[in-house]
Amino acid sequence: MATPRIDNRTARRLFLDRHALLERPTGPAHGAALGALIDRLGFVQIDSINTLARAHDLILHARRPRYRPDHLDRLYARDRALFEHWTHDAAMIPMRFFPHWQLRFAR
């Protein structure tokens, strides 16, 4: 089977779409809508260093301009829609992925 090929423009659009950066950043920035965004991204890496702002806050704000850090805290602590674990760094991961991570917890 031949290796599929795509042109650079299509590759850029696929990359931007996969990272939720293709469409204009609009929509609610809290609750279920924020959870859906994180679900679409797969996870959000947690960054404890605060130079301008923490990286995860910048990532979410770039996609939802009304995002505030307490929205992520609420989704994690109160709504329990996310869990924290290590991907390659600390990350907030949607609960629907929890069963897939259970084997890693055993290590």
CA end-to-end span of the chain, whole Å?
38
Number of residues written out for the chain: 107
pLDDT score recorded for residue 89? 82
pLDDT score recorded for residue 6? 94
3-state secondary structure the chain: CCCCCCCHHHHHHHHHHHCCCCCCCCCCCCHHHHHHHHHHHCCEECCCCCCCCCHHHHHHHHHCCCCCHHHHHHHHHHCCCEEEEECCCEEEEEHHHHHHHHHHHCC
Do 104 and 85 meet the contact criterion of CB atoms below 8 Å apart?
yes
pLDDT score recorded for residue 53? 85
Q: How does pLDDT run along the chain (107 residues), one tens digit per residue?
A: 899 899 999 999 999 999 899 988 888 888 888 999 999 999 888 877 767 888 899 999 989 999 999 999 999 999 999 999 888 788 999 999 999 888 777 76
pLDDT score recorded for residue 31? 87
